[in-house]
Structure 1
Amino acid sequence: MEHNPQLTSSEVAAMWGAYMQNSMAHCIVQHFAKVNEDTSMTEIINDTLSNTKFVVDQVKSIFEKDQHALPIGFTQEDINSKAGRVYSDLFALRYIKYMASAGTVASAAFLEVLARNDVRELFSKTSAIFMKLYNDSCDLLLKKGTFVRSPTIPPMEKAEYLQDESFLSSLIGRHRPLTAVELAHISKNTETNSIGRTFLAGFSQTAQSQEVRKFMERGTEIAAKHETVFRRILIQDGVPLPTTWDSAISQSIDPPFSDKLMMFQTNSLSAISVGGYGTAIGASLRKDLGGHYTRLVTEILQYANDGIKIMINNRWMEQPPQNVDREALRNRRN
């Protein structure tokens, strides 16, 4: 007998999220392609557009085959083709690198809970194409001398076991030097806030809604504050500060993207930050670092929650696929 299993909740969740993220990224990179003046980036931009379209088309094909409603996602209605440049070409390249990294991680993470062969093939392919895109963008950034490297530390002289619990430090007072793992997470979270701060600064001057503009201004301030916290930790530890992700933003107030798209991108960045901080808490043995991350993640969660309220109130928030409400069905019979 031929076995045709239905999509599981994990498979639906993976594809629904992939459709939303890639339809959004496709719109953003279309604008970058339109204003791009750096010919060395042309191939990477075209590859990005091809990759995001591949994911959207494949999810659409599987959903239609299984008679599953397709998400609205993001379309040409969310792009203003007449808008001029807001961000630099270098920022566009860094965004592609960041997006490719997030796509690779998300695709690989979902593979563990995917059963159907066609869905596993999709996410295996997605992971591979975005990993290649990530490496290509890294190579170009290195060639341009603009890759943002994490701090360096002296080589370890010998391996040894910990002798006592003082390695954990305390919430206040003198702290032992940062480990390479802790430095890696601080660097990654600084990068996330830097790219978010630049993105939101551009959003804040181009958003059409005053409510959205204020939300973006608040997000820019939060990102700058979190960057300052992480950089202060590095300074106190005597670690050389990495270069920043700062990129020039034009004076244009003509929005290249819809307010709906900008809000979704902002909430996606918030979700990535929450995930990054959570991972860092588990990997940081210094108690003061855990205290910082716990405090900062609470602030991001509140900000993200306020963003969701704005999206719901403006009918911009799509309802994710969910289980049947049995109680509501029973009430309809009464």
Structure 2
Amino acid sequence: MASGQAPITSSELANLWMAYQEKTMMLRILEHLIEHANAEEKQLLQSHYEGSQKNIETITAIFQQEGAVIPIGFTESDVNKGVPKLFDYMYDIMYLHMMTKIEMSLYALFTGGSYRKDIHYFFTGLTAEAQMINGQANQFLLEKGVLVRPAYVSMPKEVTFVHSNDYLSGFDWFSDKRSLNTIEVSLIHHAIETNLVGMQLMIGFAQVATNDEVKKYLTKGMKLSKKIEIELGEFYRQNFIEPPASHAGKATTSQTTPFSDKLMMYNTSLLTTFGLGSNALGTAFSLRNDLPAKMTLLAKDIFAFAHEGGKIMIKNGWMEEPPQMEDRIKLTR
């Protein structure tokens, strides 16, 4: 422990450990993407890569100061260099855009669970870094015409209040039910956009996985992403809005794996966990009862998928165990 500093708490240890797992995974993914990126894309990817390296060094130093073992995370053995690219035109930046969304949420949560000044400051910096890279990726994709903006609406001219419980009702073709409000449109757009990028990731991962069980699981993930996109997209179509879609960012036909099955399963697990959180947010903030009902049903599918993935990871020895609380109660006969 550093001189004059309080020992790190259980939540701080957990947050640092999870950040180490995510950051080491990102290094391996970025190594493959950078290898095949053009000069313009490479600059943005390299910036995040170098930032991740420094962040891993900071976490390692804290663990060493506290006398904690350094996690394994993901190493050079989890990426194969010199293989054909797994994803095509612009997917590298689309992936970066998606993953920095996750990092923004993750590290903001970790900031709230940090109490020691240096660790709180560290996660504040990680959050700001993720926001900066996400903004750069966002602008890059918009300029290239790849990222689809949410639907435009007329600006409100007066403040109104809800006076009828009909506002909570779902859509019905045969009655005068309200259209989606802008909060609901925003939540649906985010879910569809993320699942479209995630679906291509699952397609690419599934075709290069070496373990048959993993291959089947990732194929199931591809189908689940497609199901979410279709069913939530129907809410858009009912309101005569076309769901977001992009001509870019597809998996190639490469059959040579750049990544270990362990890494691909972890990345899938991270996306699934984020999907559950997004679904919960959508359920909480939507006031049209048919939308939370749909999201609740989809959440059951996502949870079942996540649970199955956890069992596969444990079966193959790929799930690194988080730090445990000491057993303070010894059970005796």
TM range (shorter): over 0.9
CA distance, structure 2, for counterparts of residue 78 and residue 172 of structure 1:
50
Indicate conservation of the 8 Å contact 2:27/2:52, yes or no.
yes
- For 2:131, the aligned partner's letter is M
In the other structure, the counterpart of 1:161 is: 161
Residue 195 (str. 1) matches residue 185 (str. 2): no
Give the conservation status (yes or no) of the 8 Å contact 1:191–1:245.
Answer: no
CA contact 1:274–1:300 (8 Å) conserved in 2 = yes
Equivalent residues in 2 for 1:1-334 (5 A)?
Answer: 3-36=4-37, 38-170=38-170, 174=175, 175-244=177-246, 247-327=249-329, 329-330=330-331
Q: Can you list the C-alpha shifts for 1:13-55, whole angstroms capped at 9, x where unaligned?
A: 111111111110110011001111x221121011010121122
Deviation at 1:126, TM superposition (A): 1.1
State the 1:189 CA deviation. Answer: 0.7
Name the Cα RMSD after superposition.
1.7
Deviations 1:195-225 (A, max 9, x none): 1110000011000000000001111111101
Deviation at 1:11, TM superposition (A): 0.6
TM-score scaled by length of structure 2: 0.94
Instruction: State the AA in 2 paired with 1:105.
Output: S
CA shift for structure 1 position 264: 0.3
Q: Is the 8 A contact 1:148 1:242 kept in 2?
A: yes
Contact 1:263/1:311, CA 8 A, preserved across alignment: yes
Displacement, 1:101?
2.1
Give the SS at the match of 2:90.
Answer: helix
Q: Give 3-state SS (helix, strand or coil) of 2:264's partner.
A: helix
Q: One-letter code of the match for 1:210?
A: D
Tell me if structure 1 keeps the 8 A contact 2:201–2:251.
no
Q: Determine what percentage of the aligned residue pairs are the same residue.
A: 28
Following superposition, the deviation at residue 108 of structure 1 comes to 1.8
Shift of 1:97: 1.4
Instruction: Answer whether contact 1:149 1:243 (CA < 8 A) is retained.
Output: no
1:60/1:70 contact within 8 Å kept: yes
21-30 vs 104-113, which deviates more? 104-113
Cα offset, 1:265, TM superposition: 0.4
Structure 2 contact 6–116 (Cα < 8 Å) conserved: yes
Bigger shift: 258-267 or 98-107? 98-107
Amino acid at match of 1:200: M
SS at match of 2:325: coil
Contact 1:97-1:134 at 8 Å conserved across structures: yes
What one-letter code is carried by the residue in structure 1 that aligns with 2:5? Answer: N
> 2:277 & 2:248 partners in 1: Cα distance?
23
Task: For 1:15, give the aligned amino acid.
Answer: L
Bigger drift between 155-164 and 303-312 goes to: 155-164
Question: Which residue identity lines up with residue 281 of structure 1 in the other structure?
Answer: T
Q: Are the aligned partners of 1:83 and 1:254 in contact in 2 as well (CA < 8 Å)? A: yes
Contact 2:80 2:257 in 1 (8 A): yes
Greater than 4 Å deviation, 4+ residue runs: 170-174
* Count of matched residue positions in the alignment of Structure 1 and Structure 2: 329
1:127 is matched by which residue type in structure 2? T
Q: Distance in 1 between matches of 2:253 and 2:162?
A: 54
Moved more, 100-109 or 238-247: 238-247
Could you tell me the TM-score, scaled by structure 1's length?
0.94
Q: How far does residue 70 in structure 1 lie from its aligned partner after superposition? A: 1.6
What is the one-letter code of the residue matched to 1:28? I
